[in-house]
């Protein structure tokens, strides 16, 4: 059992411990055998621009079986409600009419003030008045406190799962950012009660550029502010970036182990602009990590996986996005070997990648329809795996993400029991996010084990149309792994903020895909599934695959990351001869000719093309975070020193009252 009241940074050894412990609990709950647990941290509801009620999203994401009104639930282990900042005019206890749910119609705050609905009474819209009539909007700090968090508390009890109130921060000067502050949130605390999401709400009020409320909550009849001193001016461009850094420093100072800051769909709006609100260049990720070494530790790839049409659009990316669109359903920053993420890893930074659904709606479909032309429900298509740390809690979600020991999977290409680790001698295995210390010339053994499940959530049983041209028959509802790439890159050291290469010119469109940030990054090994050891685990559990390979330590530090796919090298319109994903817009060059190709696919000259959810289930990838390697006696990497900082802060937090609050109320998953 892991100790409570401490920050836990999992090592390979502790991950093995979790596996051993959980094996003993088989039979009580099949999930207890999994070393990793699946979640989603980026999704929306009618409090902002989503299509369904806040509670409905949670029900579908973490519930089991079938929803009462129809549609599958997706049984996630943990869930962060990560909705936009700003304001919204819809009452998010109701789903939108467009969701086609029985008894649900679009309802605005103006229609429900003073009524008690779902046990919640909203008597007024607080803060600076914002709109009138049906356009009257509730600032998000209020809906976080008074609607979403009470819903999280209600559903936590109903499902006994880890639910977190988070935010998709509309960051000043930039694109959006996944944020959570779990301080004060303990929805299942048996002694102290459910707590509150006030710290999350305060961050939103103070730092979200779409929240221009100048009042916030008040503490007395005189109108004195609970959260005074808001900067409501510097929301744009370079000044906005500085305000964003102030927000990150606020989190680092106050909640260094109980918050995270993960920029999302970072390529979508093109490069950063000094005079607008859009995008990121590499220097902004560096700034974020420098300002928040234990809170700003990564990048999230885009969701919106089913938006791809005949001209592209997957990930909600247009041709003006950096890279011109998605690549293997990821943005070019993380998909390209030698790209921006590899540039951050070349510094030895604790920069990890994550993925989530960005659920809003099913586009042309209602919430219960099996098809989607826009987004998938959390857990349906994409899963973010973090370690199953014994008495699993919201703190462990953040600890797992911060450690880097996590991986991201689309379409259930692999399951919750991946092993990706490396050692040099003895039995000192290091896993994702950790650093292996070696001697020059030493042999490094890398081991990977993964399970390819027997099925995913695809409603389609016809053969993958992208693979028909290469003669492969692969039903879309049967995950199939073609190969795994081990990608290595040299670590050349941290780039100082005043160094000439700290900022790198960026470009919109496909020109942005040509930028090389780490020229040493390469696909060092490609292991075909046919080269892996196979173990059939029965009809229900799929196939267990395993391989071991070796590297020889040179004289420089480096990292090893992994990705896998169902797409063979050189698949026309999908991958290049090395196995890199092409621009996903090319997928629509391929026709879907099976009689079962669904009616909602886009057509060109009357012929259905590989688009929408069919595209998403055809072009499938997983990504695993890096293992770092450095030489004995060499200076520690930034990823190590930042992990040590987290450990020190964790020890200091042992005496922190609220930190104990989180570890006291865990769900016992063993």
- Choice between 475 and 598, CB closer to another protein: 598
| C-alpha distances out from residue 102 to 94, 98, 105, 366, 583, Å | 11, 11, 9, 11, 40
Q: How near is the Cβ of 236 to another protein at its closest, in Å?
A: 4
Q: Are strands 176-181 and 116-117 parallel, antiparallel or unpaired?
A: unpaired
- Closest distance of CB 48 from another protein, Å: 4
Task: State the DSSP code for 581.
Answer: B
Record the tokens describing residue 320, joined without a space: 């003006």
Stretch that binds another protein, among 31-39, 356-364, 472-480, 573-581 (CB under 8 A): 356-364
CB of 135 to another protein, least distance (A): 2
Say whether residue 461 binds another protein (CB under 8 A). Answer: no
Task: Give the x/- contact pattern for another protein in 50-89, rule: CB under 8 A.
Answer: xx------------------x-------------x-xxxx
The interface mask with another protein, positions 515-554, x = CB under 8 A, is ----------------------------------------
Choices 9-17, 25-33, 309-317, 522-530 (CB under 8 A): range interacting with another protein = 309-317
Nearest approach in angstroms of CB 277 to another protein is 7
Q: What is the DSSP letter of 545?
A: E
CB 74 within 8 A of CB 379: yes
Draw the binding track, 146-185, toward another protein (x: CB under 8 A; -: no contact): ------------------------x---------------
**Residue 282: CB minimum distance to another protein, A:** 23
318 binds another protein (CB under 8 A): yes
Q: Is 472 in the site for another protein (CB under 8 A)?
A: no
Q: What's the rounded Cα separation, in Å, for the pair 497 and 290?
A: 9
Contacts with another protein by CB under 8 A: the residue count is: 68
Give the E-state strand segments of 302-440 in sequence order.
352-354, 382-387, 407-410, 419-423, 430-431, 435-438
For residues 71, 411, 258 and 560, what is the CA-based torsion angle, rounded to 10 degrees?
A: 180
| Alpha carbon distance 405, 402 (integer Å) | 8
Candidate residues 19, 31, 309, 504; the one interacting with another protein per rule CB under 8 A:
309
> HSE-up of 230 (CA within 13 Å, CB side)?
21
* β-strand partners of 563: 485, 623
Using DSSP, state whether 218 is helix, strand or coil: strand
CB of residue 247 to another protein, shortest distance in Å: 16
Among 600, 623, 667, 669, binds another protein (CB under 8 A): 600
C-alpha separations of 419 from 10, 275, 407, 625 in Å? 13, 45, 10, 12
Residue appearing with tokens 């819209």: 125
- Choices 216-224, 270-278, 343-351, 386-394 (CB under 8 A): range interacting with another protein: 270-278
Report the residue number, 310 or 472, with the smaller CB distance to another protein. Answer: 310
Looking at beta carbons only, is 525 or 612 nearer to another protein?
Answer: 612
Minimum CB distance to another protein, residue 276 (Å): 5
Position among 292, 363, 378, 400 found at the interface with another protein (CB under 8 A): 363
Give the span between the Cα atoms of 55 and 149, in whole angstroms: 10
Q: How far apart are the first and last CA of the chain?
A: 8
> How near is the Cβ of 366 to another protein at its closest, in Å?
5
Of residues 97 and 634, the one with the C-beta less far from another protein: 97
**Residue number with CB closer to another protein (366 or 415):** 366
Contact between 159 and 188 under an 8 Å Cβ cutoff? The reply is no
Rounded CA-CA distance 661/51 in Å is: 34
Nearest CB to another protein, comparing residues 418 and 610: 610
Q: x/- binding map, residues 367-386, to another protein, per CB under 8 A?
A: -xx---xx------------
Rule CB under 8 A: is residue 45 a binding residue for another protein?
no
Nearest distance from residue 133's CB to another protein, in Å? 5
User: Which of 194, 343, 365, 415 is the binder for another protein (CB under 8 A)?
Assistant: 365
509 binds another protein (CB under 8 A): no
E strand or H helix at 615: helix 612-618
Distance CA 257, CA 135 (A): 38
CA neighbours within 13 Å on the CB side: how many for 597? 23
Q: Which stretch binds another protein (CB under 8 A): 248-256, 305-313, 440-448, 633-641?
A: 305-313
Among 264, 277, 326, 393, binds another protein (CB under 8 A): 277
Q: From the list 256, 324, 366, 404, which residue makes contact with another protein (rule: CB under 8 A)? A: 366
Q: Across the strands, what pairs with 624? A: 407, 562
Tell me the C-alpha to C-alpha distance, in Å, between residue 111 and each of 127, 337, 385.
19, 52, 40
**Which of 13, 23, 24, 214 contacts another protein by CB under 8 A?**
214
Which residues, in sequence order, are CB contacts of 500 under 8 Å at separation 6+?
none
Is the CB of 388 or the CB of 458 nearer to another protein?
Answer: 458
Q: Among 66, 501, 593, 603, which residue interacts with another protein (rule: CB under 8 A)?
A: 603
**C-alpha span between 393 and 667 (Å, rounded):** 6
Find the binding residues for another protein in span 84-143 (CB under 8 A): 84, 86-90, 96-98, 100-104, 106, 108, 128-137
Helices (H), 128-258: 140-143, 149-159, 198-207, 237-254
Selected binder of another protein within 347, 380, 602, 663 (CB under 8 A):
602
Name the nearest CA neighbour of 666 among 398, 401, 405, 390: 390
Instruction: Give me the 417-446 binding string for another protein, x by CB under 8 A, dash otherwise.
Output: ------------------------------
Report the distance separating Cα 484 and Cα 171, nearest Å: 35
232 binds another protein (CB under 8 A): yes
Give the number of other Cβ atoms within 10 Å of residue 238's Cβ: 13
- Cross-strand pairs, 330: 327
- Count of beta carbons in the 10 Å neighbourhood of residue 530: 8
Which structure tokens are listed for 273? 């602009």
Strand partners, 263: 177
Distance CA 120, CA 135 (A): 21
* Binding segment toward another protein, per CB under 8 A, in 155-163, 362-370, 393-401, 631-639: 362-370
In a 10 Å sphere around its CB, with 0-12 CB exposed, 13-18 middle and 19+ buried, how is residue 60 labelled? buried
Residue (136 or 631) nearer to another protein, CB: 136
Nearer to another protein, 49 or 417 (CB): 49
Binding of residue 599 to another protein (CB under 8 A): yes
CA distance 295 to 291: 9
Contact window for another protein (CB under 8 A) among 44-52, 196-204, 284-292, 329-337: 44-52
Q: Which residues bind another protein (CB under 8 A)?
A: 48-51, 70, 84, 86-90, 96-98, 100-104, 106, 108, 128-137, 170, 210, 212-215, 232-233, 235-237, 269, 275-277, 309-311, 313, 316, 318, 360-361, 363-366, 368-369, 373-374, 599-603, 606
């Amino acid at each position: 059992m892991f100790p409570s009241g401490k920050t836990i940074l999992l090592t390979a050894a502790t991950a093995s411990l979790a596996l051993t412990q959980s094996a003993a609990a088989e039979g009580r709950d099949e999930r207890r055998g999994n070393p990793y647990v699946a979640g989603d941290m980026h999704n929306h509801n009618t409090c902002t621009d989503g299509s369904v009620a806040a509670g409905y999203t949670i029900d579908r994401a973490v519930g089991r079986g079938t929803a009462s009104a129809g549609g599958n639930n997706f049984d996630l282990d943990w869930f962060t409600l990560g909705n936009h900042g700003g304001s919204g005019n819809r009452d998010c206890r109701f789903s939108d009419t467009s969701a086609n749910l029985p008894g649900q119609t679009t309802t605005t705050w103006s229609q429900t003030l003073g009524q008690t609905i779902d046990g919640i009474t909203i008597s007024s819209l607080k803060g600076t008045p914002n709109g009138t009539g049906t356009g009257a909007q509730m600032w998000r700090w209020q809906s976080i406190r008074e609607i979403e968090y009470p819903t999280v508390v209600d559903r936590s009890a109903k499902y006994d799962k880890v639910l977190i109130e988070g935010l998709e921060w509309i960051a000043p000067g930039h694109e959006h950012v996944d944020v959570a502050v779990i301080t004060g949130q303990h929805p299942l605390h048996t002694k102290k009660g459910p707590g509150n999401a006030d710290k999350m709400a305060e961050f939103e009020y103070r730092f979200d550029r779409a929240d221009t409320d100048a009042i916030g909550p008040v503490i007395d009849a005189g109108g004195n502010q609970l959260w005074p001193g808001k900067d409501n001016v510097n929301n744009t461009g370079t000044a906005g970036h500085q305000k964003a850094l102030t927000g990150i420093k606020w989190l680092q100072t106050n909640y260094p182990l109980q918050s995270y800051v993960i920029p999302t769909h970072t390529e979508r709006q093109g490069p950063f602009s000094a005079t607008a609100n859009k995008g990121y260049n590499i220097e902004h990720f560096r700034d974020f990590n420098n300002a928040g070494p234990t809170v700003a530790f990564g990048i999230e790839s885009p969701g919106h996986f089913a938006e791809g049409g005949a001209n592209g659009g997957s990930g909600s990316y247009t041709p003006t996005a950096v890279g011109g669109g998605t690549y293997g359903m990821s943005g070019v920053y993380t998909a390209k070997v030698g790209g921006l993420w590899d540039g951050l890893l070349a510094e030895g930074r604790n920069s990890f990648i994550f993925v989530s659904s960005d659920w809003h709606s099913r586009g042309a479909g209602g919430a219960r329809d099996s098809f989607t032309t826009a987004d998938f429900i959390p857990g349906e298509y994409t899963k973010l795996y973090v370690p199953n740390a014994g008495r699993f809690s919201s703190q462990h979600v953040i600890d797992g993400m911060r450690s880097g020991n996590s991986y991201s999977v689309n379409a259930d290409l692999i399951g919750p029991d991946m092993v990706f680790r490396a050692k040099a001698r003895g039995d000192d295995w290091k896993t994702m996010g950790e650093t292996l210390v070696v001697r020059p010339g030493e042999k490094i053994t890398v081991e990977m084990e993964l399970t390819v499940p027997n099925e995913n959530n695809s409603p389609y049983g016809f053969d993958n149309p992208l693979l028909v041209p290469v003669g492969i028959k692969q039903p879309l509802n049967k995950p199939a792994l073609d190969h795994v790439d081990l990608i290595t890159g040299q670590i050349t050291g941290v780039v100082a903020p005043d160094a000439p290469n700290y900022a790198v010119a960026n470009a919109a469109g496909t020109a942005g895909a040509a930028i090389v940030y780490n020229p040493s990054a390469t696909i060092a090994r490609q292991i075909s599934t046919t080269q892996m050891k196979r173990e059939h685990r029965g009809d229900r559990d799929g196939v267990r695959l395993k391989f071991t390979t070796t590297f020889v330590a040179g004289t420089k530090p480096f990292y090893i990351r992994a990705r896998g796919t169902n797409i063979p090298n050189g698949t026309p319109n999908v991958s290049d001869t090395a196995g890199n994903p092409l621009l996903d817009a090319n997928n629509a060059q391929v026709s879907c000719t099976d009689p079962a190709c669904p009616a909602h696919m886009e057509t060109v000259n009357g012929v259905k093309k590989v688009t929408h959810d069919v595209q998403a289930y055809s072009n499938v990838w997983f990504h695993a975070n890096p293992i770092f390697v450095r030489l004995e006696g060499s200076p520690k990497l930034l990823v190590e020193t930042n992990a040590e900082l987290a450990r020190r802060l964790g020890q200091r937090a042992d005496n922190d009252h609220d930190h104990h609050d989180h570890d006291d109320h865990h769900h016992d998953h063993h």
